[in-house]
Amino acid sequence: MWLILAGRGFGKTRAGAEWVRAVAEADPAARIALVAASLPEARSVMVEGASGLLAIAPRGKRPKFEPSRRRLTWPSGAQAMLYTAGEPETLRGPQHSHAWCDELAKWPHVAGRAEAAWDNLQLGLRLGDLPCVVVTTTPRAVPMLQRLLDDDDVVATRGSTFANKANLARGFIRSVQKQYGQTSLGRQELYGELIADIDGALWTRAMLESCREAALSSPPVRIVVAVDPPASATGDACGIVVCALGEDGIARVLADCSVEKASPERWARQVAQTAAAWSTDRVVADANQGGAMVASVLRAAEISLPLKLVHASRGKVARAEPVAALYEAGRVRHAGIFPQLEDELCGLIAGGRYEGPGMSPDRADALVWGLSELMLGPRTMPRILLG
């Protein structure tokens, strides 16, 4: 097993495609599984992408692609089939001699699908003399990836985006270095570093991956925009997070619309625009920093804003603990990936400390206010009035 764990633009896809091509040209009996997070990604990246199997094939050795059958056939006779990790049962039964798994850290982890897909693939690798697998992925602290790193039979190759800078646009390199530098997101997505969990953190990476869904699985019955205003225009970010309560009784984080180093007018405009875009039922704003000023600034941006001011009687971490318990109970989902917000959540430590990025967990605090409003506030029950 060969694991290529590296930053974006390193050349992981090209390496995986070249490996498959070498196998297919050398072994007419090869039966290769191509597994991605979804079938569209398998086709658009692994097969038809700029570094995919069709693009890298030399003239006269290009495989025939049959999209309806999800199959590639090389002139040598070797074949490859496309699979999605979102449907693990499709890997139960088929036999393979080789496999290329792309972006394994992105495979769906809800209901253990990633693990089930991997296990079914392993049990089907029983053709040929020496079944082999190559895994190409950007690191994320998910259980499946940690499982591979703990396996002594896995050979790991690590690398950063900048190792391949000769083949990347100069403007791209300058831009990502300026924007992300040594942030947690940059360390992960550019330098290929696996960000480990902090001891005592209220949220873990595995917990967040287990609650992720690609799209809303239940219609929202109530949507709130939660706001953690900054103390100054040059300091912390203004946390702006959209949360919803679904018909199934589960809360979902829909968007992180936070803004950095914004003036009061700018972050208030962002709140108003976010509320309008999501047809918000309520805007919940922390009034500890600024009090009535928070309300006046938001009203100036949009006078009809359905505003509710909340006041904190406990610290950020103490307020976050009951919300973290909701995650542990399976009552919260993330409808997408929110790197900066999730980095802050993973930096909240039981007992009152914060060890995440930045000076303050503004995005995380906004999320806590939003989910508290939806899930922990007083419920109004219907009553029958007897006359």
Let me know whether 209 and 168 are in one domain.
no
Question: Greater confidence, 208 or 14?
Answer: 14
Whether 386 is covered by a domain: the verdict is no
Whether 383 is covered by a domain: the verdict is no
- The mean pLDDT of the chain is 89
- 359 three-class SS: coil
* Domain encompassing residue 249: 205-376
- Of 187, 220, 242, the one marking the end of a domain is 187
Output the pLDDT for position 302: 82
CATH of the domain at 276: 3.30.420.280
Per the CB < 8 A criterion, the answer to whether 93 and 124 are in contact is: yes
Whether 81 is covered by a domain: the verdict is yes
The 3-state DSSP composition of the chain as helix, strand, coil percent (nearest 5) reads: 40, 20, 40
Tokens for 179, please give them.
Answer: 């924007």
In a 13 Å sphere around the CA of 22, the CA atoms on its Cβ side amount to 9
The pLDDT of residue 384 is above 60:
no
What are 337-367's pLDDT values in tens digits? 898 899 899 989 987 788 887 788 999 999 9
Output the pLDDT for position 74: 97
CATH of the domain at 148: 3.40.50.300
Whether 198 is covered by a domain: the verdict is no
Residue among 79, 28, 77, 91 at smallest CA distance from 53: 79
What are 316-344's pLDDT values in tens digits? 888 899 999 999 999 999 998 898 899 89
Let me know whether 216 and 258 are in one domain.
yes
Count of the separate structural domains present in the chain: 2
- Of 187, 214, 234, the one marking the end of a domain is 187
CB neighbour list of residue 384: distance below 8 Å, 6 or more residues apart: none
What are 191-217's pLDDT values in tens digits? 888 877 788 899 988 888 888 887 788
Let me know whether 24 and 160 are in one domain.
yes
pTM: 0.65
Confidence at 295, pLDDT banded by 50, 70, 90: confident
Tell me the C-alpha distance between 165 and 255, whole Å.
32
Confidence at 381, pLDDT banded by 50, 70, 90: very low
What are 149-163's pLDDT values in tens digits? 989 999 999 999 999
Tell me the C-alpha distance between 379 and 325, whole Å.
19
Residue among 77, 19, 75, 67 at smallest CA distance from 47: 67
Whether 57 is covered by a domain: the verdict is yes
Confidence at 380, pLDDT banded by 50, 70, 90: very low
CB neighbour list of residue 149: distance below 8 Å, 6 or more residues apart: 3, 5, 156, 194
Residue among 202, 282, 204, 203 at smallest CA distance from 244: 282
β-bridge partners, 134: 2, 100
Tell me the C-alpha distance between 203 and 356, whole Å.
11
Whether 367 is covered by a domain: the verdict is yes
